[in-house]
Amino acid sequence: MIVIFVHGWSVTHTNTYGELPQWLERQSKNGKLNIQVGNIYLGRYISFDDTVTVDDIARAFDHAVREEIADKLRDGQRFACITHSTGGPVVRKWMDLYFKNNLAKCPLSHLIMLAPSNHGSALAQLGKSRLGRIKSFLKVLNQENMCLIGLS
């Protein structure tokens, strides 16, 4: 089985998950589990410009899946995702965009969401607040961050 950790907004490390990724890799190396562990860092696939939406990030996730694990997905093989924060809504949106009418074709077998922003995100609210808008104010920009709006 392939287990992919999907990292949220601009994360570039596995610290969010504590020792879980390394533990799973050790279990696999010790022969206790037959899994391959991978990571998808959404920030590598899309610019986090203010006009980017959750739909845009879901499309970037689709690109990442094709680029990172498509060669590992043999006919009928599926993968599991463990997500944190923004990763949860992004993977759900990916399923909606690409497999809404045919879930049987979805290569995702299990979705585990840790602290997803299902009912808004304190960080998204902060990002939309005056504190988060200082940069925009200084540049005299007056546009909303579409991803933060989608998560708030």
Instruction: List the structure tokens of 116.
Output: 């997803």
Q: What pTM value is reported for the model?
A: 0.75
CATH topology of domain 2-119: Rossmann fold (3.40.50)
Instruction: Sketch the domain layout of the chain as residue ranges.
Output: 2-119
- The tens-digit pLDDT sequence of the chain (152 residues) is 899 999 866 677 778 899 999 999 999 999 999 999 998 888 777 766 667 888 998 999 999 998 888 888 876 789 999 998 888 999 999 999 999 999 999 999 999 999 887 765 555 555 555 545 555 544 444 445 555 556 65
CA distances from 39 to 74, 88, 90, 150 (A): 19, 14, 15, 24
